[in-house]
Structure 1
Amino acid sequence: MLLIATVLTAIVIAIHVYIVLIETVLFRTRGRKIFGIKEDRVDALAPLMSNQGCYNGFLVAALAVGLLHPDPVIGRAFVVFGLACVAVAGVWGAVTVSRRILFVQTVPALLALGALVAT
């Protein structure tokens, strides 16, 4: 079960690396299309999205530290914290922005967290 939890956590990391890129580096092009932002609003929203991308980067960092930390107890704490944060952020995003966020962020995080807790 630990292998499944690790693989699911790595998937959550990959999803959030993609989100970071879409919200920061690629917002004016691909990100605008993904989020359905009209061209005339891109310049106004770019700094806000970049800030949001930064926070998603912190989630990636917490999960990566958790998977790579040499002490398994500390690593597990980072992974649990990171996955819980992703799940909560996903719920909030689903309530305030789009229900799709629940499936893209929260479900994978809860699956990984469930697999981790089952070990």
Structure 2
Amino acid sequence: MTMVGNALVALVALLHFYFLVLEMFLWTKPAGLAAFNNTLEKAQDMAVLAANQGLYNGFLGAGLIFGLLYPAAGPALHIKTFFLVCVFVAGAYGAYSTGAMKILAIQALPAFIALLVLWMARPQTA
């Protein structure tokens, strides 16, 4: 079960690296315009903000990878938990603030599932 949890954490990290690419490099390109349902004019107006948002998504992904690579299991669980909670909160707030429930499904739900699986698989102490 721990391997499944870690695979889900890796998937969430990869999603956030993909978000980084979309928001920092593809925002005004056809793929970015389609992903965010933007016009070129609107996307150009928001490009700096999107790049900043993409950078934050990259930091979330990096934090999750750090948790996956951390050598001690206990602290690694806490690192992964912290970053998954950050991802979940960001996704929930993004869905709330924009009204786009798609964000909840794409960002918050995978983080919540990974968090749930990780904590169900954690070693029990007496």
Is TM (by shorter chain) over 0.5? yes
- Deviation track 1:54-84 (CA, whole Å, cap 9, x = no partner) reads 1111100110000001122221111000100
Distance 1:40 1:89 in 2: 26
Aligned equivalent of 1:73: 74
Q: SS of the counterpart of 2:18?
A: helix
Counterparts in 2 of 1:31-70, with a 5 A limit?
Answer: 31-70=32-71
Give 3-state SS (helix, strand or coil) of 1:37's partner: coil
Aligned-residue sequence identity (percent) comes to 36
Deviation of 1:42 (Å): 2.3
Distance 2:62 2:45 in 1: 28
Query: Does residue 115 of structure 1 match 2:117?
Result: yes
How many residues were matched structurally? Answer: 119
CA RMSD of aligned residues (A): 0.9
Q: In 1, Cα distance between the equivalents of 2:58 and 2:17? A: 7
Shift of 1:16: 0.9
Runs of 4+ in structure 1 off by over 3 angstroms are: none
Q: Deviations over 1:28-73 (max 9, x none)?
A: 1021221111122222110000000011111001100000011222
Gap regions ≥5 residues in structure 2:
122-126
Residue 124 of structure 2 corresponds to: none
The structure having more radius of gyration, on CA atoms, is 2
**CA–CA distance in structure 2, aligned partners of residues 31 and 57 of structure 1:** 16
Once the 2 structures are TM-superposed, how far is the Cα of residue 26 of structure 1 from its aligned partner? 1.1
1:76-106 per-residue CA deviation (whole Å, 9 max, x = no partner) reads: 1110001000111110011112110000011
1:96 alignment partner in structure 2: 97
Query: TM-score w.r.t. structure 2 length?
Result: 0.90
Q: Distance in 2 between matches of 1:111 and 1:42?
A: 31
- Looking at structure 1, the residues matched to 22 and 112 of structure 2 have their Cα atoms a distance apart, in angstroms, of 23
